[in-house]
Chain A
Amino acid sequence: MRFVRFSAILICTGLLFGCGTKGDDTKKSELALIKTTNPSPSVLDHRTEKNVDMAEGIKEEIQNYKEIYDAAIIKGDKDILVAYKVKHMYRFQMKKIEKDLKKKLEKKYPDEKFTISSDYKIFLEAVRLQEKMKNPDFSRKEANKKLQDIIKLQQEMT
């Protein structure tokens, strides 16, 4: 009897969760926490060739790291947000990887201000922002504001 009740609860939960997902138009961000999304880098302001190349360059630099497996890069007006996921076995060295990456990027692009994070939330928000930017109604100003919000969130400690 107990088993039947337990399985009934399980099935109901499964059905509820199952109905919650949308059919074909599942967004990348919905599974960004559990799946590799590998979003292409995006530039918020002045989509000049130089800026796009820089974003691509950062992506390439990150791909050289064997410890990192997923990265979202957003180049804003003044800041560049780099959010990435660290492979499970290397999560003990997360601080070292962050320090190393920041040093490398700042050396390569000395005029830019980098915000680097391996936090899942920052990655998720970066992917969500990139998705929002595909919408033509979403203005540059709003995008920049959202980017600043993410950077602020990254600096929160408690």
Chain B
Amino acid sequence: MTQADLGERVGATRQTIIAIEAEKYAPSLELAFKLARAFERPVDDVFQFDAQG
């Protein structure tokens, strides 16, 4: 799956997918769940919360 395909599936641009991958943008909860659903994984398999920031 390309970044553009993933973006289209979750309603985000390819640039946003790139920014999330590079940890330059923290997605909303809604987008995080959509991304997890696109990968058919639980959300905390896809995103890890780092309390240190």
The answer on A and B forming one complex is no
